[in-house]
């Protein structure tokens, strides 16, 4: 009398007859797949919670760099009026490790 078909027995039989490299890849593939699915689920959960609990930011802009209507790059510092950025001699707080940070920020509401 024949044994009923078992998917697990078939997979285990194919696993044992496969070359060692394929066996190693199969052993590594399962944990990596589970790790990736867990990462995707947690990322989706954190982004969903961030959207749900998003509060309006009530702080004030202390320092910032923005581009005005004439295309000039302006530096805004707390308590001072905006001044044009001198790219030949930028202020030390805008100098990164290698390059000057060039970003567009919203103009502060005054």
Q: What is the pLDDT of residue 5?
A: 86
| Residues contacting residue 61 through CB under 8 Å, at least 6 positions apart | 76, 78, 108
Q: What pTM was estimated for this model as a whole? A: 0.41
Domain ranges of the chain: 7-52, 59-110
Closest by alpha carbon to 109, among 61, 55, 75, 58?
61
Q: What is the pLDDT of residue 63?
A: 75
As a dihedral over the C-alpha atoms of residue 70, residue 64, residue 80, residue 92, rounded to 10 degrees, the angle is -100
Token code pair at residue 73: 């790059």
Residue 100 forms beta bridges with which residues?
95
| Residues contacting residue 67 through CB under 8 Å, at least 6 positions apart | 73, 74, 104
Q: What is the pLDDT of residue 54?
A: 67
Identify whether the C-beta of residue 74 lies closer than 8 Å to the C-beta of residue 85: yes
Closest by alpha carbon to 65, among 33, 28, 107?
107
pLDDT digits (tens, 9 = 90+) for 78-109: 778 888 877 777 666 666 544 444 454 444 44
pLDDT digits (tens, 9 = 90+) for 24-74: 998 999 999 999 999 999 999 988 887 777 665 566 667 777 788 888 888
């Amino acid at each position: 009398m024949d044994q009923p078909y078992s998917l697990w027995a078939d997979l285990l039989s194919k696993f044992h007859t496969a070359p060692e490299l394929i066996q190693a890849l199969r052993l590594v593939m399962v944990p990596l797949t589970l790790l990736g699915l867990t990462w995707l689920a947690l990322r989706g959960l954190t982004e969903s919670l961030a959207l749900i609990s998003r509060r309006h930011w009530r702080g004030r802009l202390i320092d910032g760099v923005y581009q005005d209507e004439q295309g000039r790059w302006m530096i805004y510092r707390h308590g001072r009026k905006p001044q044009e950025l001198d790219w030949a001699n930028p202020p030390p707080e805008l100098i990164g490790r290698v390059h000057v940070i060039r970003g567009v920020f919203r103009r502060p509401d005054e």
